[in-house]
Amino acid sequence: MEAAVSDQPREVESATVAVTPKTSKKSAKVAKKAAAKRVAAKPTLLAGGNPQIAKADGDAPVQAYITAMPGWKRDVGRRLDALIVRSVPGVRKAVKWNSPFYGVEDQGWFLNFHCFTKYVKVAFFRGTSLRPVPPGESKHKDVRYLDIHEDDHLDEAQMATWIRQAAALPGWVP
């Protein structure tokens, strides 16, 4: 009986030593393949059809978010992005918290947007300072929203005015 007890730890030790290198190499290969698939795969759509895009700075993740926006919302996203780029030369872009953010270097973020089931919500982080004030109220005292529904007419002139005003204000710094 003692022999069986003393043999057992040896088997476990040898099994652990023998299996660990193979498992590590295999796990590394599996992880590498999974990462490659995630890059190539379509992003997951979260509640309301909001794309799940990894947090990152730059235009590429914002374009990935817009491309992943479902249906008519994708066109809204493209129009908003183009309008922001035209209105604020050198605009800084990023995806944070599964939403595209727009800002001015060393000033902070002035705007983001997010997909919901029936609309795209544009948030102006210093919206109460804009004229006229965007219509949607927030629980945060400075924030104002504009909800864009499928059949809404987007007043691009008014939106461009709000974008330029928002970019000129001190932005939100998380």
Alpha helices by DSSP H, 1-155: 2-40, 59-68, 72-87
pLDDT at 31 over 80: no
Query: Where would I find the beta strands (DSSP E) of 40-152?
Result: 56-57, 92-96, 99-104, 108-115, 119-124, 144-149
pTM, rounded to two decimals: 0.75
pLDDT in tens, 119-149: 999 999 999 999 999 999 999 999 999 999 9
CA–CA distance, 84 with 122 (Å, rounded to integer): 12
pLDDT in tens, 11-21: 444 444 444 44
Lowest-pLDDT range of 45-49, 71-75, 157-161: 45-49
